[in-house]
Amino acid sequence: MHAEEWLAQERRLMEQDRSQWVSPKIRELTIAAMFDQDKTVEQYGKQWIKQRNLKPKTVAHYSGLLDRNITPKLGVIPIRQLNAATVRNWYSTTLTDKPVMRSHAYQLLHAICKTAVSDELLDRNPCMIAGAASAKTSRKAVVPTIAELAIMAEKIEPKFKAYILISAWCGVRFSEMVELRRKDISEGCEVIEIHRNAPHITKNQAAAQGIPFCQVGTTKTNEKRESIVPPHIRDDIQHHLDTYAEPGDEGRLFVPVRGGCHVVEKVVRDAFRSACADAGVNGMRIHDMRHFAGHQTARVANLPETMKRLGHSTSTASLRYQGEVSGRDVEIADALSALAKVPELPDDSTEAEVVKALEKQGLS
């Protein structure tokens, strides 16, 4: 009976004006499109985040930016009414004391509006502030010398010495480091396979998304990479495996003392700061170890090789695919060890002084 009533109603609509009649499916899509046009910046932004294939930590980051920095001033504005003047006023008063987070918030709003243009809700993207997407920060990474790095490795708690060495000489990120297992280290500690990471989000963010706060997944670039270990640190890594790592192929390299899924950054950070103080290095953060790795690798490798070793990605496809030199990974690792054996010389050293220092170490 319901079906007959529905069919009778459709026939009446057709008889009233057959030229204007459209199928129920098209009417449904039209109503949905009208609803999208009435969505506010907040509603459309939440939909934008939900529809993307993002990692949980990225979802948490974007949701936080939307809720804390975009919604309070722009959230109630219909997305189709957002204009350049409104965006400029919002940007001029948002996160002015936090340039990195400010650029992140602007980038998110720009991406949301770009999709709104594709959805024909906006004629053009209202985010047109030159340079706003670039983070401007006054802080520079603190990069220790090779000698200072060696002191840090010796002074840190013995169970974290391997962390210092792997992070500094192989450029492994913290979230990748805590997820390393025995099976990821080759025999003789010659190669480290990096294809997982374990970022943690806050418990509030986890509760809001209904997911665990620990998210084991692929690397930041979603690609597996192998890092050839410089020979001069292989014995230290082997000692760590023999002394501190869990047994078995799935045994964690770094074991949390009080239980839990992984070693937390605060524990490592406290030990790291103490080691920095012993080495006379001030203001260095854990992430600055990546800068040390980048600096040293760049001294012995070309740009594509450096990007490959450190797991960097770029929007320029040519930098990803050109210039790969087969077999150079081993040479790079050997050259990094050679750097550790060479005494650091003043920048104004003569060529003869450099040659003499190399010859003392048996290097040509």
- Write down the catalytic residue from 240, 252, 262, 290: 290
> Is 163 one of the annotated active-site residues of the chain?
no
Q: Which helix (H) or strand (E) holds 178?
A: none
Distance CA 205, CA 184 (A): 30
What whole-number distance in Å separates Cα of residue 308 and Cα of residue 227? 9
Q: Are 162 and 240 in contact (CB under 8 A)?
A: yes
Token match 């129920």: residue?
A: 24
Catalytic pick from 61, 173, 232, 309? 173
Is 312 among the catalytic positions? yes
| 362 contact partners, CB below 8 Å, separation of at least 6 | none
CA 253 remoteness from chain centre: 22
Q: Please tell me which residue in 2, 18, 139, 321 is annotated as part of the active site.
A: 321
DSSP for 74-127, please give it: HTTSBGGG--HHHHHHHHHTSSTT-HHHHHHHHHHHHHHHHHHHHTTS-SS-S-
Tell me the C-alpha to C-alpha distance, in Å, between residue 60 and each of 80, 167, 171, 206, 208. 26, 26, 26, 8, 9
Residue 296 Cα distances to 91, 300, 337, 358, angstroms: 38, 7, 10, 17
Considering only CA atoms, which of 190, 194, 196 is closest in space to residue 228?
A: 190
Residue among 88, 225, 234, 312 flagged as catalytic: 312
Q: For residue 172, what are its two tokens?
A: 């492994």
Contact 100, 106 (CB under 8 A): no
Max Cα–Cα distance, the chain, nearest Å: 101
Is there a contact between 45 and 112 (Cβ–Cβ < 8 Å)? yes
CA distance 69 to 139: 23
Residue 196 a catalytic site member: no
Task: Measure the CA–CA gap between 306 and 293, rounded to whole angstroms.
Answer: 9
| Options 27, 124, 269, 287, the catalytic residue | 287
What residues are annotated to the active site? 173, 287, 290, 312, 321
